Amino acid sequence: MVVLSISIILFNFIAWKINRFPMLRVVHIWTFTIAFQMLFDIIIEFKYQAYWYFDKGIDLFGFLGHTLLIPPVNIMLLNWFPFHTSLIKKSMFIIAWTFAIMIYEILASLPEPWGFFHYGWWKLWYEIIALPILLFILLSL
């Protein structure tokens, strides 16, 4: 819970501080992020129980992660993404963000009261495959 609380405050502060997008685009990113994250988690978290936030099943605190944690991270990513650079720089950016997110997941999976993320059968190395795909979907907005 500690990591989640600090992350929500810090990521929202950074996202709103560096934001270059008009408010309508921010709303679009925020809405897409919540909808896509919910769709992904309904399948992976609830149906297959690969991972979960706090407790298995629907949880109010898990909802905070979907609505207040992940959207500002996506706003930061889209603000900082080097759209008009070489493919190598874009690839390096995706790789760096993939590993940064993996490090965050390690912190989030610390025992309570620090962490809030729990693994079922999902392994951290699956992120190496899943995260770039999810980031490409986000970047195609």
Q: What is the pLDDT of residues 30-76, one digit of tens each?
A: 999 999 988 998 899 888 999 988 888 777 888 888 899 999 999 99
pLDDT confidence bin for 19, thresholds 50/70/90: very high
Task: Report residue 21 as tokens.
Answer: 């997008």
Rounded distance, CA 105 to CA 102, Å? 5
- The residue type of 66 is H
Residue 141: per-residue pLDDT: 66
Query: What pLDDT does residue 138 have?
Result: 92
Contacts with 61 (C-beta within 8 Å, 6 or more apart), sequence order: 1, 4, 53, 54, 116
Q: Where are the domains of the chain?
A: 2-139
Torsion of CA 15, 21, 24, 26, to 10 degrees: -20
Closest by CA to 21, choosing from 72, 85, 57, is 72
pTM exceeds 0.75, yes or no = yes
Cβ neighbours of residue 107 under 8 Å, at least 6 residues apart? Answer: 3, 114, 115
pLDDT (tens digit, 9 = 90+) per residue, 80-131? Answer: 999 999 999 999 999 999 999 999 999 999 998 999 999 999 998 999 999 9
